[in-house]
């Protein structure tokens, strides 16, 4: 494999136009105090940035059309030929350049932005190398597979100054999540005592046999940094064409590739929960995670013994404590999907479909201050649709070289809680955390799980 430096000897440069003054979307945003529309951004086409989609599977093809409202999609990359061809036809009428090796994308001097929509185990490696190649990036959540990867991502972001928007688009939903945070920040719940985060049960599978790799699918490269393993597939009689597998759409249910529900929905709802704690003026520095979990396989020293079925936690009842220990966050699989904030003065519940509770009803006669929601959104321009708003915020951050609403630093503080929860589940015991040093304390085995080995040939190229 060629090194990134061989592919792009100018990887440290900032980009062909530096974006300063080049993105009309940012200019519109700066001119309008709080709202601008994606339609206006889409109409402003003078010198739009050019972006590439890395990971053209289901999630990539679902979310890339949003990016196309703000930038020109010129290249797609995927290790599966069928994904490349389908994505190119669906998104670009077959006119985009296609690649199987993302490094060829990063080596192109005319690509300004990359959208990283690969499986989780590739996120950190591609993101770090993209920043070093002078690209700004929109990266789907969860940003990393481990805690230590997050430390490196944050270091490289500071070093390069690249803008990275994490795909936790709930931070850009004003009607629900930001209004909930504004209610908390305005003191309507008083001091928070307990939060219940519902993220649903994890995936289940029967034993999955080894199978032939589909034609055109580079299985070895799909595995990438993950351990070498045979491809597995079993047809699911209940879901035609969507079988049980250790690849593609079912990667979330394997610790080798992901963190299960804890880093899937957890990366959304734990995120809002921790922002809520901070909005209440209380510490969201985690100190420990404890509780119970059930898996479909047995574990030894935190490693699944069986290799032929989904191995992430299916059920869990976990408690996260924070500095000061005046609030506890309960993460569960068996309650409504969403976040319940319980405070001394009242409670509210929020998810993607509703925001309810007496403090919400009281807004009819006692509305929030006019700038309450804009303060939650850091005073940046806003619009009222999470995905377009999230991309619009990304473009604004690129134009002004500022942190976007879902920056890597606040994201990793939240995601570390999800990672700690996963380690707790795998070991079946309490995990203690020192936020000041960002280390697991008093448990050598648990601490060793803050990182992972990379398969030879797939190390992060610095």
Dist. CA 394–CA 164, nearest whole Å: 8
**If pLDDT is split at 50, 70 and 90, which confidence band does 46 have?**
low
Task: Give Cα 239 to chain centroid, integer Å.
Answer: 26
Q: Is the pLDDT of residue 26 over 80?
A: no
pLDDT value, residue 241: 74
* Cis previous bond, 262, omega within 30: no
**If pLDDT is split at 50, 70 and 90, which confidence band does 20 have?**
very low
How do residues 153-192 score in pLDDT, each as one tens digit?
999 999 999 999 999 999 999 999 999 999 999 999 999 9
Candidates 114, 139, 103, 105; CA nearest to 124 is: 139
Max Cα distance, the chain (Å): 65
Among 10-24, 229-243, 398-412, 443-457, name the one with the lowest average pLDDT.
10-24
Candidates 353, 336, 346; CA nearest to 196 is: 336
Question: Which domains occur in the chain, in start order?
Answer: 4-171 (3.40.50.720)
**If pLDDT is split at 50, 70 and 90, which confidence band does 15 have?**
very low
Among 13-27, 133-147, 374-388, name the one with the lowest average pLDDT.
13-27
How do residues 368-385 score in pLDDT, each as one tens digit?
999 999 999 999 999 888
Q: Is the pLDDT of residue 16 over 50?
A: no
Q: How far is CA 299 from CA 228, 272, 293, 302, 311, in A?
A: 19, 31, 12, 6, 9
Helix axis angle, 147-160 to 408-427, nearest 10° = 170
Strands 72-77 and 97-99: parallel
**If pLDDT is split at 50, 70 and 90, which confidence band does 23 have?**
very low
DSSP class per residue in 229-250: ---BEE--TTSTT--EESSGGG
Q: How far is CA 236 from CA 103, 206, 207, 245, in A?
A: 35, 10, 12, 10
pTM assigned to the model: 0.91
Residues in the chain: 462
Q: How far is CA 185 from CA 19, 352, 381, 388, 439, in A?
A: 35, 20, 20, 25, 30
Dist. CA 225–CA 429, nearest whole Å: 28
Q: How many CB atoms lie within 10 A of CB 441?
A: 13
Dist. CA 18–CA 134, nearest whole Å: 9
Are the C-beta atoms of residues 118 and 130 closer than 8 Å to each other?
A: no
Percent of the chain residues past pLDDT 90, beyond the cut? 87
How do residues 418-429 score in pLDDT, each as one tens digit?
999 999 999 999
Given the structure tokens 């990283």, which residue do they identify? Answer: 116
Are the C-beta atoms of residues 261 and 199 closer than 8 Å to each other?
A: yes
Dist. CA 288–CA 379, nearest whole Å: 33
Residue 98, beta-bridge partner list: 76
Are the C-beta atoms of residues 411 and 168 closer than 8 Å to each other?
A: yes
Dist. CA 407–CA 151, nearest whole Å: 13
């Amino acid at each position: 494999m060629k090194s990134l430096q061989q592919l792009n000897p100018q990887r440290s440069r900032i980009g062909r136009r530096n974006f300063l003054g080049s993105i009309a979307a940012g200019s519109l945003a700066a001119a309008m105090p709080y709202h601008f529309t994606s339609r206006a951004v889409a109409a402003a086409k003078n010198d739009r940035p050019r972006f590439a989609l890395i990971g053209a599977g289901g999630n990539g093809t679902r979310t890339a059309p949003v990016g196309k409202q703000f930038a020109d999609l010129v290249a797609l990359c995927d290790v599966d030929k069928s994904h490349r061809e389908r994505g190119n036809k669906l998104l670009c009428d077959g006119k985009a350049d296609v690649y199987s090796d993302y490094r060829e994308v990063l080596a192109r001097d005319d690509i300004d932005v990359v959208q990283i929509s690969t499986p989780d185990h590739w996120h950190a490696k591609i993101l770090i190398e993209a920043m070093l190649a002078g690209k700004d990036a929109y990266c789907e959540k969860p940003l990393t597979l481990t805690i230590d990867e997050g430390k490196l991502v944050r270091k490289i972001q500071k070093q390069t100054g690249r803008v990275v928007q994490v795909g936790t688009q709930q931070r850009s939903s004003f009607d629900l999540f930001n209004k909930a945070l504004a209610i908390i920040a305005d003191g309507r719940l008083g001091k928070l005592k307990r939060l219940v985060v519902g993220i649903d049960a994890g995936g289940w599978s029967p034993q999955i046999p080894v199978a032939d790799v589909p034609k055109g699918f580079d299985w070895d490269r799909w595995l990438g940094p993950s351990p070498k393993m045979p491809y597995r597939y079993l047809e699911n009689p209940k879901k035609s064409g969507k079988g049980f597998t250790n690849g593609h759409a079912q990667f979330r249910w394997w610790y080798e590739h992901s963190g299960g529900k804890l880093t899937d929905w957890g990366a959304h709802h734990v995120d809002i929960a921790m922002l809520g704690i901070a909005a209440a003026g209380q510490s969201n520095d985690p100190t420990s995670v404890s509780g119970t979990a059930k898996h479909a396989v047995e574990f030894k020293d935190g490693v699944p013994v069986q290799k032929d079925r989904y191995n992430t936690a299916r059920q869990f009842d976990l408690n996260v404590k924070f500095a000061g220990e005046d609030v506890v966050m309960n993460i569960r699989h068996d309650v409504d999907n969403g976040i319940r904030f319980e405070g001394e003065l009242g409670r509210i519940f929020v998810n993607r479909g509703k925001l309810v509770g007496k403090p919400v009803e009281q807004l009819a006669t006692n509305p929030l201050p006019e700038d309450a929601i804009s303060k939650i959104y850091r005073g940046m321009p806003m619009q009222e649709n999470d995905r377009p708003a999230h991309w619009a915020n990304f473009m604004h951050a690129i134009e002004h070289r500022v942190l976007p609403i879902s920056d890597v630093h606040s994201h990793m503080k939240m995601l570390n809680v999800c990672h700690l929860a996963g380690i707790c589940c795998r070991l079946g015991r309490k995990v203690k955390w020192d936020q000041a040093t960002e280390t697991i304390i008093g448990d050598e085995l648990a601490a060793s799980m803050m990182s992972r080995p990379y398969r030879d040939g797939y190390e992060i190229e610095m």
